[in-house]
Amino acid sequence: MVRAVESLGLAGVVATDHLAGWRDPSDPVLEAVTVLGMVGAVAECRVGSLVLQTALRSPSYTADVVETLSSITRSSPLIGLGVGDSRSRREVEAVGMELPPVAERIVRLKETVAAIRSRTPDVEIWVGGWRPELREVAAECADGWNAWGGRPEAFQAAAHHMRRMNPGVLISWGAVLDPRRGIDSLRRVLKQRVDAGAQALVLALTPPRAATIRRWAPLLLGNTSCHPGAEPY
């Protein structure tokens, strides 16, 4: 999949951080830190995470991961961080762990950003999530903010709020896209998000295969009017 992304000239590839399959919880899933180390050592393109769940690892451990990744990748990695959502809670509980209350997870997120900054100050950090508290953390101490899914008007309002808090924070939007919905329809989705303020697009095409990327990404992203100035991942 990474080689497919590189052959198409996309900005890079990011790993998700989940403990169970997307549609079927019994499906196998790649563990994020492991796959980042494997891919980071060989990839020519930029690699990173969207998003590492900060509640699953201590701030110092996540900082170790980022420092190691920065030392083996050809380009500085993109580190997306988050606090988990309802799906994450189900996954965590299924393996016998507990997800702390949101307030505690927000504190852990801030501590993780600070730990990374102390070790690799130049790495680019994004915060992912729709909660207003997460946008505030992104505005306060991150380089970018990502919204996953959601309606276009909600994204436009959130992006406007982010620009008011910190105009320097990069705004990105991502989603799982099924090309069988029709390429023209998906292009309209991307254009709506770019018009609403997205400066980067993080796209997961389903089914997740190299062949899917090679077949559909050129058709989806080939028309630059769909994403003027927005970097595709």
Residue type, 71: S
Confidence at residue 94, expressed as pLDDT on a 0 to 100 scale: 80
| pTM for this predicted structure | 0.95
Average pLDDT, the chain: 93
Banded model confidence at residue 91, pLDDT cuts 50, 70, 90: confident
Kindly report the three-state secondary structure assignment for every residue of the chain: CHHHHHHHCCCEEEECCCCCCCCCCCCCCCCHHHHHHHHHCCCCCEEEEEEEEHHHCCHHHHHHHHHHHHHHCCCCCEEEEECCCHHHHHHHHHCCCCCCCHHHHHHHHHHHHHHHHHHCCCCEEEEECCCHHHHHHHHHHCCEEEEECCCHHHHHHHHHHHHHHCCCCEEEEEEEECHHHCHHHHHHHHHHHHHCCCCEEEEEECCCCHHHHHHHHHHHHCCHHHCCCCEEC
pLDDT tens, residue by residue, 39-55: 999 999 999 999 999 99
How many of the other CB atoms lie within 10 Å of CB of 67?
15
The position carrying tokens 């016998």 is: 96
Residue 96 has pLDDT above 90, yes or no: no
pLDDT tens, residue by residue, 16-43: 999 888 778 788 889 999 999 999 999 9
B/e letters for 72-109, b = 16+ CB within 10 Å, e = fewer, are: ebeeebbbbbbbbeeebeebbeeeeeebeeeeebbebb
pLDDT over 90, % of the chain: 82
